[in-house]
Amino acid sequence: MYMIEMSRCKRVILALISGLLVSASFPFYLAGFSAPDMGWIAWFALVPLFVAIRGLAPRKVFLLTFVAAFVWYGTSVFWVGNAMYVFGGLSLSISSLITLLLVLVVTLHISLAPAIAAFISQRWRGEPILLLPLVWVAMELFRNYFPCGGFPWSTMAMSQWKYLPLIQIADIVGAYGVIFLVVFINASIAEAIFFLCKKNVSHPLFKLSISILIIAGVLSYGYFRMGRIDSISESSEIYPIALIQGNISQDEKWDSGKAQKNLDAYRQEAAKLLHGQVQLIVWPEASFPWYLKGDSKELPPSNFGIPEGFIGKAPFTLFGAILSEENDIYRNSAVLVDSGGKVESVYHKVHMVPFGEYVPYEKLFFFLRRIALPTGNFIPGEDIHPMSAGGVRFTPLICYEDIFPELARSSTLQGGEFIANITNNAWFGRTAAPFQHLALSIFRAVENRRYMLRSTNTGVSAVVDPVGRVLVRSELFEPATIVSSLKRMDLISSYTKNGDWFALGCALYTLIGMFFGLAAKYRRG
């Protein structure tokens, strides 16, 4: 394994540069300033790192990658600490500590990928140009589940959310395929640099040709699928919908003295929609300002802006509420009611937010309960399932559940014709978090070929079509009512059918490579 001779300091600088470049490729917004899209940077952002680590021992590879990953995660998810400090009631030190722990854990996942690839390459066999993206995807799959149910944020795929032809492969290989592609191209460029530096890189022109052919194939597939899905959508049944963004500040959201005022803000907007063709109105997460009893079967229609004369004629309403049950059990739920206030269906959030809705590993680390957010300890739902509004089935997702691909996929397989995500991004203030959240949700629409509705309390609310176009969206921290329509889709994509087979294959290859690598190590003594 050949490497470019350079000092330790230069290698660290290259790692830092990669970390900053990756972070720059993500959506950026802070205090009203929005940076232009720079997702294209991701295609070479990892090159300095890959040049720096080439030929080094796995331990050194891990340390340099840790530097890069710590920079990009620390700069892209700093808003976690802001949410806990400003709105969660935690001290600056505790919120900073929790954020640091989160960044460290996520950094460890990514840092292990090049280190494992180096180990396999040196102890067994394999080309870095393939090993790096294969193992990278394997670790991203691991990050999707561990720890605390996973936190698949700030992935390399997130940077590509606006490059629609490139991300259409997600309907076969999921967002993991996009991650593989970006890392693969970075590794290819690094290989080209080694060749130019006259290092003994085997078959450089062949490798470069393969990279170009892969990009060309991905783009060709993307344009073809976009045209095909658009053609299918044209003949699909139209379903009018509306999203209401109340813009209730986090300070006021649970203020009992302002509960009626907050409810009225939604009721008044909903009442304006009664004379139109809208069939479903979607309110954000926890938009109902009081606790609901878990056994509630009916609610006053006036709660949703429906006067008596419109009962039976008004749209269905999907809203977020906190349900209370016996023994101090609370659930973060999505509730669907008809025009008469009858509760048609209830979905309880399955994937809880650590330290926001529950304390992870509470029995083992009982002292963590002291630093939990004051929102309480919620109980998760048992499964994800579609709701039905007048015979139209859709997938309800609450908060950041839309960043976990298996949830949207599972409900789509059960007959969900579109995806409705209700969330509250007021926690994160004027940061990039709402825009990053939107970017991640795009992939659920493409993977499953479904329209995605996003109703948020303070933005960004949006309607996304099955190829990832943002058809309409709200501004951040502004009240908004979005009236739009979607197409009912019954197409089942390859990804929806087969799930994360590609990522699992990468994980299997990684495990096999580690096994034979360890075997080779012990044989040599």
pLDDT in tens, 46-81: 999 999 998 899 999 999 999 999 999 999 998 888
Q: What is the pLDDT of residues 148-163, one digit of tens each?
A: 788 999 999 999 999 9
pLDDT of residue 98: 82
User: Which of 206-210, 412-416, 514-518 is predicted most confidently?
Assistant: 412-416
Q: Is residue 248 domain-shared with residue 214, that is, in the same domain? A: no
Q: Which of 236, 136, 215 is nearest to 169 (CA)?
A: 215
Question: Mean of the pLDDT values across residues 174-200?
Answer: 88
- Considering the chain, what is the average pLDDT of its residues? 90
Q: How far is CA 109 from CA 99, 112, 316, in A?
A: 16, 6, 43
CA-to-CA dists, residue 67 to 49, 111, 390, angstroms: 10, 9, 53
Percent of the chain scored above 90 by pLDDT?
Answer: 68
496: helix, strand or coil: helix
Length of the chain: 525
Q: Both tokens of residue 24?
A: 């720059």
Task: Please tell me the distance from the alpha carbon of residue 106 to that of residue 124, in angstroms, as a whole number.
Answer: 27
Measured between alpha carbons, how far is residue 270 from residues 35, 282, 337 in Å?
Answer: 34, 9, 13
User: How many angstroms separate the CA atoms of 434 and 428, rounded?
Assistant: 8
Residue 457 belongs to a domain: yes
Q: Annotated catalytic, 506? A: no
Say if residue 296 is in the same domain as residue 158: no
Give the separation between CA 26 and CA 29, rounded to whole angstroms.
10
Co-location of 101 and 218 in the same domain:
yes
Express each pLDDT in 85-98 by its tens digit. Answer: 776 667 788 788 88
Q: How many CB atoms lie within 10 A of CB 24?
A: 18
- Whether the link from the prior residue into 460 is cis, omega within 30° of 0, is yes
Distance between CA 127 and CA 132 in Å, rounded?
Answer: 8
From the CB of residue 200, how many other CB atoms can be counted at a distance below 10 Å? 8
Give the C-alpha distances (Å, rounded to integers) separating 372 from 89, 291, 523: 10, 20, 49
In this prediction, residue 370 carries a pLDDT of: 54
In sequence order, the β-bridge partners of residue 29 are 34
Res 8: pLDDT: 92
- Does 159 share its domain with 22? yes
Residue 198: pLDDT band (50, 70, 90) is low
- Beta carbons of 401 and 152 less than 8 angstroms apart: no
* Closest listed residue to residue 65, CA positions, set 16, 130, 101, 129: 16
pLDDT for 33: 80
- Rounded distance between C-alpha atoms, residue 20 and residue 474, angstroms: 29
- Residue 375's contacts (CB-CB under 8 Å, 6 or more residues apart) are 88, 356, 357
Residue 374 pLDDT grade (very low, low, confident, very high; cuts 50, 70, 90): very low
Question: Do 162 and 287 share a domain, yes or no?
Answer: no
Q: Are 338 and 301 in contact (CB under 8 A)?
A: no
Mean pLDDT of all residues in 249-261: 86
What digits encode the pLDDT tens for the residues 467-523? 999 999 999 999 999 999 999 999 999 999 999 999 999 999 999 999 988 888 777
- Helices marked H in 124-163 — which ranges? 128-143
| Residue reference for tokens 């749209």 | 315
Torsion of CA 63, 186, 435, 86, to 10 degrees: 10
**pLDDT-based confidence at 203, cuts 50/70/90?**
low
pLDDT at 200: 60
Out of 207, 253, 399, 487, pick the active-site residue. Answer: 399
Q: Does residue 1 sit within a domain?
A: no
Q: 460: closest CA among 408, 402, 410, 411?
A: 402
Do 79 and 175 sit in the same domain of this protein?
Answer: yes
Other Cβ atoms within 10 Å of 58 Cβ, number: 20
Residue 362 banded pLDDT, cuts 50, 70, 90: low
Least confident of 184-193, 232-241, 361-370, 410-419: 361-370
Distance set, CA 333 to CA 155, 175, 321 (Å): 28, 27, 5
Residue that the structure tokens 């996304």 belong to: 464
Q: What is the dihedral of CA 490, 492, 496, 498, to 10 degrees?
A: 150
Q: Cis ω on the peptide bond leading into residue 300 (within 30° of 0)?
A: no
The confidence score (pLDDT) of residue 369 equals: 56
CA–CA distance from 281 to each of 63, 196, 248, 476 (Å)? 50, 59, 18, 20
The catalytic residue among 191, 269, 285, 401 is 285
Domain count, the chain: 2
The question of whether 349 is a catalytic residue gets the answer: yes
Beta bridge partners of 422: 398, 455
Q: What is the pLDDT of residues 287-304, one digit of tens each?
A: 999 999 888 899 999 999
Nearest to 154 by CA among 166, 167, 144: 144
β-bridge mates for residue 393, sequence order: 388
Domain contains 388: yes
Q: What letter does residue 236 receive in the DSSP assignment?
A: S
Higher pLDDT, 283 or 254: 283
Amino acid occupying residue 432? A
Q: How far apart are CA 53 and CA 43, in angstroms?
A: 18
- Do 226 and 243 have their domain in common? no
Residues 204 and 59 placed together within one structural domain of the fold: yes
Q: Are 128 and 187 in contact (CB under 8 A)?
A: yes
Asked if the structure places residue 178 within a domain, the reply is yes
Average pLDDT for 19-45: 92
| Rounded-to-10 torsion of CA 466, 468, 472, 475 | 140
Residue 3 domain flag: no
Number of neighbouring beta carbons within 10 Å of residue 417: 23
Residue 453 lies in a domain: yes
- Would you say residue 405 lies in a domain? yes
Q: How many CB atoms lie within 10 A of CB 234?
A: 8
Higher pLDDT, 518 or 349: 349
CATH number reported for the structural domain that contains residue 436 in this entry:
3.60.110.10
In a shared domain, residues 486 and 504: no
- Round to whole Å and give the CA distance between 382 and 413: 17
Cα angle 215-218-223, degrees, rounded to a multiple of 5: 125
pLDDT band at 240 (very low <50, low <70, confident <90, very high): very high
What radius of gyration, in Å, describes the C-alpha atoms of the chain? 24
According to the model, what pLDDT value does residue 514 have?
Answer: 92
Claim to verify: residue 473 and residue 508 sit in the same structural domain: no
Annotate 221-277 with three-state secondary structure: HHHHHHHHHHHHHHCCCEEEEEEEECCCCHHHHCCHHHHHHHHHHHHHHHHCCCCCC
Residues 46, 94, single domain; the answer is yes
The residue segments making up the domain with residue 299 are 237-492
> Do residue 286 and residue 301 come from a single domain?
yes
Mean pLDDT value of segment 315-337: 92
Q: Which member of 207, 253, 269, 349 is catalytic? A: 349
- Alpha-carbon distances, residue 307 vs 156, 301, 302, 321 (angstroms): 49, 7, 6, 22
Paired tokens of 447? 């993977």
Confirm whether 285 is a catalytic residue: yes
